[in-house]
Chains A and B, each alone.
Chain A
Amino acid sequence: MKFELLPFLKSMLSVSGISGYEAPIRDVITPVWQELSDRTWVSSHGSYHAIRYGAGTEPRPKVMIAAHMDAIGLMVTGIEAGFLRLTQVGGVDSRILPGQMVTVHGTQRDETVELPAMVVMPPAHLLPKDGQKGPLPQKYLLVDTGLHPAEVERLVRVGDVISFATEPRELSGETISGHTLDNRASVAATTIALDYLSRRKHLWDVIAVATSQEEVGGIGAMGSSFDIMPDFAIVIDVTFAKGPGGGDTVLFDMGKTITITWGSCDHPALYAAMKATADEYEIPLARDFAPSGAGTDAYDIQIAQAGIPVVELGIPLRYMHTPVEVVSIKDIKRAGRLMAEFITDLPLDFMNSVRWE
């Protein structure tokens, strides 16, 4: 089975996998990673691990690549006259919710039923003063499944998760849009790296990890780092691309560069080594900043066990945490290639160079 990026990425963007409920996305990743690795297993918190054994003599050093696979989403908090009330899982700006197509994962029956639905705003005259104008507070939003109230009661219960149902779409200039490109773009890049490595000789053991529950605080990554105990970790996530309403921080041109993070979670020696590899292979790599701690799995991996050196890569993405995130396919390929080149070239004594001055 030859690995093909676009169909794989699209299939990942077509399934849910809300933090804590990652089974649907894990099931998409499983057959692809099984093909590209020697052994796979699932962590106690649902992260998916795939190891490729290196060619070096045992005990071999280990590098972990962490890319979270979970998604932000919604959860049912109440059922009223056939309508569902909701809360968020992970960071959701309520202003993006009205009119969003979603899937309700109803568990009232033995088998989970997937109900197509939409988030809706009640008209102003049915709301109190704070619902009259401006963004509607989340507590007033409803989800409509199109089913009669009795049927809703039969299929759905409080606590059921609701995922975005926006379909992946290819846009022009080799870009793609969809929900959960944060961070399935990075899972795709990690898969590209595994694909390269499957055709190369590498001395190190490589453990690819699709982490769970990143959007609620790096929970999957904590346990996975402890379980794997790598010599160092590459964390790959998305970062902010330039775009409308971008903001004041440093932003990156989508399609022109990937990023490496400079900050308190990032080991300077790994930073320098990764940068050198990017220069050698002429892969554009801009510097992103996270001076007071990363908003990624790196934050938790760095302090696992006795401490793990971390290097962070980023794929620029527009409209983060909306169902219409956009990334450049080129950037995904760049990130995959960079990780593959870096790992291919790792000498067995590489950790001797990962030192503080």
Chain B
Amino acid sequence: MAKKYSPKMGKKELDLLTRLSNALAVSGDEQEVREIVYAELQEFKDSMHTDAMGNVLVSREGNEPIRPRVMVAAHMDEIGMMLIKEDGDGLFEFVVIGGVDPRQLVGKPVIVGRKHVPGVIGAKAIHLTTKEEREQELKVKSLRIDVGLGGSKLVEIGDRATFDTKLAVLGPSLRGKALDDRLGVFNLIELLKNAPENIDLLAAFTVQEELGLRGAKTAAYHFTSDIGIAMDSTPANDMPHFDGEENTTHNTKLDGGPAIYLMDGATIGDRRLVKWLTDTADAEKIPWQYRQPGRGGTDAGAIHKTRAGVPSVSVSVPQRYLHSAAGLVRIDDELNTLKLMHAALSRLDRSILNPQEIK
């Protein structure tokens, strides 16, 4: 049996998560997170390389004679923007990358390029707008990233940009950008640092998840694993209903613990793996919840269709306000997700994949 592991959010952990959350790694340019992953894992890997897509693939072998090969994926990329045209006076036209609600862009501080050049996305002064205008959504095409007068020397078209939001602790919660899926990246780093001996842990820090689970596809092909698990973050729509009715379509709720997927828009969670996770959570007295079956998808959507098929499941940290300037998660939900993953991996036995277990 693996040694007891109880994750915590101490100073060291918070520092790592802060660096991950504040990094600029928009889909297609994940270098900043790649560097953090490499630096963190130097002493905790048997092999580590970057593949053709930019995925960081790390393996850590266990010690027992028969070991299931378990691929665990977390995506490094985040939604963001790219500068596409210069208007002069430090103003740049831009497009969005990934699923960004344009309503979230207005009036926000941003950072541009590897040097994190500060900029803002402004809006026309309310004094100059009409009531009719204020009832119209501001289209991305009408917005500009403004880096200040003379800023064209500091940034250029093609640079990627993201919200300039710094990770913050709000009582029992964390508020930060790109927690989708830097929490997963954080958890995967922690799992590698505390890897159970009964499995070969095949960690995929993937790219381009936000553009259609593209990194996970090549990563899964490389690993040829017995099992695939995506660690991601999923919406907690647990806000009040406008007319006071009970909100029954919350997807997940904060404080409900890790969210285990039965079905999303990309994957039917493997039933044996779902049971393995829920049994583990119950045995370890870790709070958990089902993610309400519905749309959306994680890297599992790519992994489970790889080669001859890889039984897969997803586990997510419930999060409010994904794909905006800042998401909000409970520290307890995050730590319980890590705890559940570690406990489940530590008790994993290949026999659960017996086809007769599919009922």
Contacts and interface: CB of A to CB of B under 8 A. Distances in A.
A38 interface: no
Given A95-B137, A99-B321, A135-B135, A173 B175 contact: no
A81 B240 contact: yes
A127 B237 CA distance: 12
Contacts of A55: none
A122 B146 contact: no
Given A118-B328, A245-B142, A172 B175 contact: no
Given A146-B170, A246-B128, A171 B146 contact: yes
B126 interface: yes
Interface size bracket, B side = 35 or more
A146 B175 contact: yes
A127 to B, nearest CB: 5
Contact of A322 (B123, B154, B235, B324): B123
Contacts of A140: 242
A320 B148 contact: no
User: Which applies to chain A's interface (DSSP): helix, strand, loop or mixed?
Assistant: loop
A7 B159 CA distance: 30
Q: Say what secondary structure dominates the interface of chain B.
A: loop
B207 interface: no
Interface string A94-114: 111111110000000000000
A318 interface: yes
* B107, B149, B174, B239 — most chain A CB neighbours (10 Å): B107
Interface string B136-159: 111000111011111101100000
Interface in A309-347: 318-326, 328
Contacts of A34: none
A127 B242 CA distance: 5
B240 A324 contact: no
A171 B148 CA distance: 5
A321 B125 contact: yes
Interface in A222-272: 240, 242-249, 254-255
B137 A145 contact: no
B125 A319 contact: yes
Given A121-B103, A122-B239, A135-B137, A147 B128 contact: no
B326 A247 contact: no
Interface of A: 80-81, 83, 91-101, 115-118, 120-123, 125-128, 131, 133-136, 140, 142, 144-148, 151, 166-167, 169-175, 177, 240, 242-249, 254-255, 295, 318-326, 328
